Chains A and B, each alone.
Chain A
Amino acid sequence: MSIAPTSFESLEVPEAATRSEDYLWTLNFGPQHPATHTTLRLVLKLEGERVVDAMPEMGYLHSGFEKIGEHLTFNQYVTVTDRMNYISPMANNVAWHHAVETLLGIELTPRCKVIRTIIAELARLSDHLLSNGAVGLDTGAFTFFLYGFYQREVIYDIFETLCGARFTNSYTRVGGVSQDFTPLVIEKIRSFVKTFPKTLDDMERLLTRNRIFVDRTKGVGVLTKEEAINRGATGPVARASGVTRDLRKDEPYLAYADYDFQICCATAGDCYARYLVRMQEMRESLKIVAQAVENIPTGPVSVGIDQRTALPTKQQVYSTIEGTISHFELSMSNRGFEVPCEESYAAIEAPNGELGFSIVGDGNETAYRARCRPPSVLHFALFPYLIRGHTLSDVVAVLGSLNIIAAELDR
């Protein structure tokens, strides 16, 4: 086999090449890369190992969620919200129906409020376990990830006992939830509350003072408080930068006003601070779950049949005339809920930040427009600002600490 002689003319360095930009090289990162956790894409401009600039690109998982929202009824769309932020589906269910109930003006029963609070906090735990585990995984701590994932399986098990699905739960309904808590579920949550702190201590011992991990995350990707507000960061990312905004305290929804817990904040704004905030938030969430599970109010779990929103139980349908009428009216295609021709926005403090839905109602049981306000979009837009000047190896640490979920990002 003959090799063509290299043309030396083409190798001659032109004079203009002495500009500093000519030493930059471009690296494509993703969309299929293990550290992108699904489908993000970055185009990095590197000078040696230093990142000069990054151009994030998204849309590799855009599935038209908002368009589907215009074609599914309020109760059907909950299945789609499951697949939005798929590492904490329960929180999305709660957010969606919180927004729907705001539009319809439904006041939940006390029992339902507490049940939703518990599952939203369990979802926060499972999210933070995975996101912190992924930071560990990306910076080389595989054991930490396995510890986190093992506890996620326990939470999955609770959810499976509760509603039959381990992962995409579709648990909430308009004006209630699909299944009531059983004694077995409460028992499982109690034992989880008892055993989880030990694992959390183990995880902290593994990583919080680990020299390699601290060196790789401390001082990396610093977000100042002003920039966090200007760039619209919410949730743990903003709280790690000193923004004391937590909707659970600021606009108490569900039953959060009744429980004793703290907002976890840090001031450093780097990856390590975000890790610490998430770790601490898990302890606070556990406190909420422990308080809530011991004091679940008795009574119905869904709003009454008079409100014509939740389907009556089988007992009510067969033994009362109101139940029969209500069931009939709700099931007929030209009846259903009464939806105002109005628009409203409601948000909850999802594990990742402020997750809200703007719903436009047009008198129909289907939303005219179902806009989701995803925290991940704003966090991913932060990325070039955070990574400039750091090295290539810091890319994965910063990406992991922002906890960007592609399905929520692209919808």
Chain B
Amino acid sequence: MPFTPPSVDDVIAAVAGRFGPLETSAFRGQTRLVVPAERSFEVLEFLKQRGFDLLIDVSCVDYLEYRDPPMQMPACAGSRYGLVYLLASTTTNQRLTVRVFADDPEPMVASVVPLWEAANWLEREVWDLFGIRFTGHPDLRRLVMPEEFTAHPLRKDYPLQGRGERHNFPVITRHES
């Protein structure tokens, strides 16, 4: 008998059976699942056991200047930061997007490094550029900006040209070098 892998809908039904109904939607064939921040780790662990074994990406969107509720889903409204977990399965090649929302003043989400080692640097990058704290992350340092940097540059309230940090360096002239 040929093995038929569970479809994304089956997995979402299983998630709903375990954690209660969660809001989902689809756009261009991509299914999104909105998970409350306090349960994100459990849901992602469950999804990993159900075959989504490859973590493609962890990123974040700052909805500060966004007019509508993101993706026209009421569950997403009201929070400033929306984290994006892109999951995929290496056996069935299905994809699933998990959305977790966090808000100021202390945006905080559980780290998924215990589940996927791949999340380590991706979460550090989100911390660096958006200032989202990942609780339980083994080594949450800045990844791309200098250690001395104080802002989180991909937030919408940070200007594109920066605040002059880029030119705050000593000048070496010909006669002193």
Chain A nearest CB, measured from B107 CB (Å): 16
User: Knowing A59-B146, A250-B93, A344-B30 touch, does A230 contact B118 (C-beta < 8 A)?
Assistant: yes
Mask of B86-105 contacts with A, CB within 8 angstroms, 1/0: 10001001010100000000
CB-based nearest A residue for B25:
A342
Does A341 reach chain B (CB closer than 8 Å)? yes
Residue of B68, B86, B97 ringed by the most chain A CB atoms within 10 A: B86
Separation of A362 and B66 alpha carbons in the complex (Å): 7
**A345–B53 touching, CB < 8 Å:** no
Separation of A373 and B32 alpha carbons in the complex (Å): 18
**B120–A381 touching, CB < 8 Å:** yes
Q: What is the number of contacts between chain A and chain B, taking CB atoms within 8 Å?
A: 107
User: Knowing A59-B143, A362-B67, A369-B62 touch, does A377 contact B125 (C-beta < 8 A)?
Assistant: yes
Could you say which interface size class chain A belongs to? Answer: 35 or more
User: Knowing A243-B90, A354-B56 touch, does A344 contact B28 (C-beta < 8 A)?
Assistant: yes
Does A284 reach chain B (CB closer than 8 Å)? no
Residues in B with CB closer than 8 Å to A230 are 116-118
CB-based nearest B residue for A226:
B53
Does B172 reach chain A (CB closer than 8 Å)? no
Does B140 reach chain A (CB closer than 8 Å)? no
Give the residues from 95 to 147 in chain B that come closer than 8 angstroms, CB to CB, to chain A.
95, 97, 116-118, 120-122, 125, 129, 142-146
**B70–A343 touching, CB < 8 Å:** yes
Does A218 reach chain B (CB closer than 8 Å)? no
Residues in B with CB closer than 8 Å to A67 are 153-154, 160
Residues in A with CB closer than 8 Å to B68 are 341
User: Knowing A103-B28, A232-B55, A369-B61 touch, does A342 contact B71 (C-beta < 8 A)?
Assistant: yes
Does A400 reach chain B (CB closer than 8 Å)? no
Residues in B with CB closer than 8 Å to A245 are 54, 90, 93
**A232–B54 touching, CB < 8 Å:** yes
Does B11 reach chain A (CB closer than 8 Å)? no
Does B4 reach chain A (CB closer than 8 Å)? no
Separation of A344 and B31 alpha carbons in the complex (Å): 10
Does A64 reach chain B (CB closer than 8 Å)? yes
Mask of A304-340 contacts with B, CB within 8 angstroms, 1/0: 0000000000000000000000000000000000001
User: Knowing A59-B145, A67-B153 touch, does A381 contact B27 (C-beta < 8 A)?
Assistant: no
- Tell which of A64, A344, A377, A411 touches B27, judged by Cβ atoms closer than 8 Å: A344
**A341–B72 touching, CB < 8 Å:** yes
Separation of A51 and B67 alpha carbons in the complex (Å): 52
Does A71 reach chain B (CB closer than 8 Å)? yes
Separation of A103 and B71 alpha carbons in the complex (Å): 12
Does B14 reach chain A (CB closer than 8 Å)? no
- Tell which of A231, A232, A345, A369 touches B97, judged by Cβ atoms closer than 8 Å: A345
**A358–B154 touching, CB < 8 Å:** no
Separation of A67 and B154 alpha carbons in the complex (Å): 6
Does B84 reach chain A (CB closer than 8 Å)? yes
Interface size on B, residues (CB 8 A): 41
CB-based nearest A residue for B121:
A381
Residues in A with CB closer than 8 Å to B45 are none
Give the residues from 250 to 268 in chain A that come closer than 8 angstroms, CB to CB, to chain B.
250-251
CB-based nearest A residue for B53:
A229
**A62–B55 touching, CB < 8 Å:** no
Separation of A103 and B118 alpha carbons in the complex (Å): 26
Separation of A256 and B143 alpha carbons in the complex (Å): 36
Residues in A with CB closer than 8 Å to B67 are 341, 362
**A373–B86 touching, CB < 8 Å:** yes
Does A356 reach chain B (CB closer than 8 Å)? yes
Chain A nearest CB, measured from B130 CB (Å): 11
Does A216 reach chain B (CB closer than 8 Å)? no
Mask of A234-246 contacts with B, CB within 8 angstroms, 1/0: 0000000001010
**B86–A358 touching, CB < 8 Å:** yes
**A232–B56 touching, CB < 8 Å:** yes
CB-based nearest B residue for A360:
B61
Does B24 reach chain A (CB closer than 8 Å)? no
Does B79 reach chain A (CB closer than 8 Å)? no
Does A371 reach chain B (CB closer than 8 Å)? yes
Residue of A245, A342, A362 ringed by the most chain B CB atoms within 10 A: A342
- Tell which of A62, A70, A103, A345 touches B86, judged by Cβ atoms closer than 8 Å: A345
**B93–A251 touching, CB < 8 Å:** yes
Residues in B with CB closer than 8 Å to A70 are 160
**B84–A371 touching, CB < 8 Å:** yes
Residues in B with CB closer than 8 Å to A411 are 144
Separation of A344 and B27 alpha carbons in the complex (Å): 7
17 CB-based A-B contacts, threshold 8 Å: A66-B154, A67-B154, A103-B28, A230-B118, A232-B55, A245-B54, A340-B27, A341-B72, A343-B71, A343-B84, A345-B57, A345-B84, A358-B86, A360-B61, A362-B66, A369-B62, A373-B86
User: Ordered nearest first, which 8 A-B pairs have the shortest CB separation?
Assistant: A232-B118, A59-B144, A62-B144, A250-B93, A373-B57, A381-B121, A371-B59, A231-B117
A-B contacts besides A344-B30, A362-B67, 19 pairs, CB < 8 Å: A62-B144, A62-B145, A71-B160, A230-B117, A340-B27, A345-B86, A347-B56, A354-B56, A356-B57, A360-B70, A362-B66, A368-B66, A369-B62, A371-B59, A371-B61, A371-B84, A377-B122, A377-B125, A378-B122
